[in-house]
């Protein structure tokens, strides 16, 4: 089967590796252009580009995948199938019309739930007990195409987005492998999605990662998990971002003093009062510093029980 692979982040790398290991090395890998990364802002390739070049697979990095010269490039390869995993762009109708069999997207949710750019974070924010991956036939609509197969997995009660992403990356590789094996056997499954059950996971911005003392303990800790370890949910503390990388609901119930330090504990960290209840801040990253236990941060910042932190609230 002649394949062209589209992908960008580390989430897509296990899928590319598995294709190559199973003798399905793509004719071409298409990924985003190199971008500045790290403190030095030096240009660096995407994880998928690095993985492809390490295996000697040709790579293309168009600014937009649907421009005429890129459509012509893909057409010249005469692919049977386009395969996508977290590429980051919607393919143009011209591209979708090229492959003999169509285009399959590895989507990291159980469609039609959490269509869109950030399904892993959305599943944690929503408090879902399970998620999974789905292979979906691409159409012009956003994640609206018929599905082929899906694999499910529970979400751990303390699992953060980074941990879940690592698991789903491997599950996605397996789901695509099983899908391609079924296609080889002559199966061609196209199950229509129930659009009435669809939910959407937008691309989250910085304001979405800002924590609010108006949230319930459960909502706040889900937000922490959804954005850990990167970019990290944060509290606004006198103009500086205090990232919270691990948290759990506190013992206090009912109305409280938002922002008050209720308790300090070497093992659990800082118990912080909310408008309703409290949370334990367990691991934090102060602006410009490394991640640390919240108790160590409290010692360095000279926090004491009963004091109220000068936190700036997220707009309602």
Domains of the chain, first to last: 3-201 (3.40.50.170), 207-312 (3.10.25.10)
Is the distance from CB of 56 to CB of 20 less than 8 angstroms? no
Residue (of 124, 130, 139) closest to 110 by Cα position: 130
CA 146 from chain centre, in angstroms, equals 22
**Ramachandran angles phi, psi of 262, nearest 5°:** -85, -30
Query: How does pLDDT run along the chain (316 residues), one tens digit per residue?
Result: 999 999 999 999 999 999 999 999 999 999 998 776 655 556 789 999 999 999 999 999 998 988 999 999 999 999 999 999 999 888 999 999 999 999 999 999 999 999 999 999 999 999 999 999 999 999 998 999 999 999 999 999 999 999 999 999 999 999 999 999 999 999 999 999 999 999 999 999 999 999 999 999 999 999 999 999 999 999 999 889 999 999 999 989 889 899 999 999 999 999 999 999 999 999 999 998 999 999 999 999 999 999 999 998 866 6
What's the token pair of residue 291? Answer: 């991640």
Cα distances (angstroms) measured from residue 48 to each of 65, 68, 227, 279, 316: 16, 23, 22, 38, 39
- Measured between its terminal Cα atoms, the distance across the chain in Å is 53
Q: What is the dihedral of CA 236, 223, 221, 272, to 10 degrees?
A: 10
Percent helix, strand, coil in the chain, to 5, is 30, 30, 45
The closest of 34, 30, 19, 140 to 77, measured between CA atoms, is 30
Residues 6 or more apart whose Cβ sits within 8 Å of residue 185: none
- Using CA atoms, how far apart are residues 181 and 203, in angstroms rounded to an integer? 32
| Residue 81, both tokens | 């199938």
């Amino acid at each position: 089967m002649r394949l062209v692979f589209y992908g960008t982040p580390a989430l897509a790398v296990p899928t590319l590796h598995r294709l190559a290991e199973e003798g399905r090395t793509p004719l071409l890998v298409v990924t985003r252009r190199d971008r500045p990364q790290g403190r030095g802002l030096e240009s660096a390739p995407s994880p998928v580009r690095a993985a492809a070049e390490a295996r000697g697979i040709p790579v293309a990095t168009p600014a937009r995948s649907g421009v005429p010269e890129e459509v012509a490039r893909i057409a010249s390869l005469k692919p049977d199938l386009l395969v996508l995993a977290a590429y980051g762009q919607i393919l143009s109708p011209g591209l979708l019309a090229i492959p003999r069999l169509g285009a399959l997207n590895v989507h990291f949710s159980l469609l039609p739930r959490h269509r869109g750019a950030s399904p892993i974070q959305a599943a944690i924010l929503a408090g879902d007990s399970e998620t999974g991956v789905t292979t979906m036939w691409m159409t012009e609509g956003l994640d609206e195409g018929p599905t082929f197969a899906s694999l499910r997995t529970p979400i751990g009660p303390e699992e953060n987005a980074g941990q879940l992403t690592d698991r789903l990356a491997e599950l996605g590789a397996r789901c695509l492998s099983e899908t391609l094996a079924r296609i080889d056997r002559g199966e061609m499954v196209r199950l229509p999605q129930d659009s009435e059950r669809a939910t959407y996971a937008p691309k989250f911005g910085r304001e979405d990662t800002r924590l609010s003392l108006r949230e319930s303990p459960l909502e706040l800790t889900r937000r922490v998990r959804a954005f850990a370890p990167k970019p990290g949910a944060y509290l606004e503390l006198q103009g500086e971002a205090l990232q919270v990388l691990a948290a759990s609901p506190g013992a206090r119930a009912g109305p409280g003093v938002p922002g008050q330090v209720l308790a300090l504990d070497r093992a659990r960290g800082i118990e912080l009062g909310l408008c309703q209840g409290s949370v334990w801040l367990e691991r934090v990253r102060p602006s410009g510093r490394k991640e640390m236990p919240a108790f160590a941060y409290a010692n360095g910042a000279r926090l004491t029980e009963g004091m109220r932190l000068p936190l700036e609230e997220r707009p309602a």
